[in-house]
Structure 1
Amino acid sequence: MADQVITLRLRIQDPFPGVAYSLQNRKSEPVGQVVAGDEPISFEVPVRVAPGPKLHGDFVRSEGAARRFVYIAIGEQAGQRPSPWSRRAKIDIHLLPAELLDKALAGGVLEALLPGKAKDGGPACATLRPIGAWRVVE
């Protein structure tokens, strides 16, 4: 069985205005930079699903045998120079429920709503937990 591709939508609810955000590929290069305003921003991430399920692709990173995640780069790490910020947000995807993966494989998009602000007042970084559960959208 060949790998199938699904789309993950990472939606930042309240990004830090004026700060650049991007996906970060496996080479740690910024891809798809967006400078945030007052509205939510989102990134569409193609992910290949292999039997198991195993998730991989140009933006999927790994730690150990099982952990899979996607990085969102912020500020300088997203290619914005100069920027007072140089951060990354890690979004875990290895624990996505099989039923959601199945719905995405049938044509839906898996969406996570993410926080944009950290407790220190800057852009949210480190491991981000979705606000609410992942959901399938059309």
Structure 2
Amino acid sequence: MNAPHLVGDWIRGITIRQPWATCILAGKTVENRTVHWPWRGWVLIHVGKAKPEPAVLRDPLVATAIRGRELHLGAVIGVARLVDCHLDQGPERCTNSWAQRAAHHLVLADVHELALPVPARGALSAWKPTRDLVGQVLQQLPGLKP
């Protein structure tokens, strides 16, 4: 069976540390990065293996977002559309409470959480997922298409 939607340039992976990745599933729409990302389109939300810093977990914004959620490690936990990336424009223009100053803001939309995390390896920059990984994700999100 030829399944072109399992490969190609329509989807990438993005590795995000905890608890930020879980915060995205809970409504965080901005991911902060040090460099501009030219990629636009669907991204797998992948969690790295590093455990979160305890002090970060006590931040009120983070604590509210992750309350009652498991903080998975080393797996794809969701999918989102990366719709924009812009340099911080100051608090007058970037009013999102998750946006950090002097950072590039990756703007995410259409977030879909996976019911079962899919173990996977990621990379620091946007990475191309394997056909098998995309297939495992699409088993849980059959309506997701390029």
Give TM-score scaled by structure 2 length: 0.25
Q: Which structure has the higher relative contact order (CA within 8 Å, separation 6+)?
A: 2
Give TM-score scaled by structure 1 length: 0.26
Which structure features the higher share of helix residues?
2
Which structure features the higher share of strand residues?
1
